[in-house]
Structure 1
Amino acid sequence: MFHVVEDDAAVADALVLMLREFDHEVRSYPDAEEFLREARLAGSDTVIVDLALPGMGGGELVRFLETIADPPRVVVISGEPQGELDRHLEGLPKLPVIRKPVDVEDLRRLF
């Protein structure tokens, strides 16, 4: 199962459609809080997290996901400049990054 945590509805829809084209089961969430309330995670899942989320930020969500017993695979998505991206990910293990605008071939290479 893929979980897309993205507040931009157009980006979330595009990711969902592309991932379904690759035959993945996908669910999207507009923010970290809804994701944490509703997602039923397994270690085999993949969570795509926008770093610029309202409320609980994407970096904070990624840090939380790293602490659970059987963590899912985490991929971050961002349209921010590299310096901001580095700041969000400081102290985290190296994670795959999808840059906005999303390219279907970049996505295909990751999944």
Structure 2
Amino acid sequence: MANVTCCTRSGLKDWFLQRISAIIIMLYAIFIVVVVLCLSGDGSYHTWMAIFQNTWVKVFTLLAFLALIAHAWIGMWTIFTDYVKCAWFAGILQVAAIVGYFTCFIWLICILF
């Protein structure tokens, strides 16, 4: 029986997608660290607003968050299918994860735009 809730239906493609998403997350983390170090002590709300008013920062943030969701989903799907033996409980956990990821994504859209 094929599980249609996996990302690509291929273990190798899922592995590759998780590695690519990890690189995107790492680049975003480096970007945030550089921004924090360049603030030189002025971490006020208005400074952060000015940084995140740039369209490219919003797009990069959105891309990093989508990468985080993909990365987390592949990991959680693997855990649910490998370690949760009760099919209906694994299904409930998968639905809960999807609802959580979707809710966080909508929240991010509200914050950024």
* TM-score, normalized by the shorter chain, greater than 0.5: no
The structure where helix makes up a greater share of residues is 2
Scaled by the length of structure 2, the TM-score of the pair is 0.25
Q: TM-score, normalised by structure 1?
A: 0.25
The structure with the greater share of residues assigned to strand is 1
Q: Which has the higher contact order (CA 8 A, sep 6+)?
A: 2
Instruction: State which structure, 1 or 2, has the greater radius of gyration over its C-alpha atoms.
Output: 2
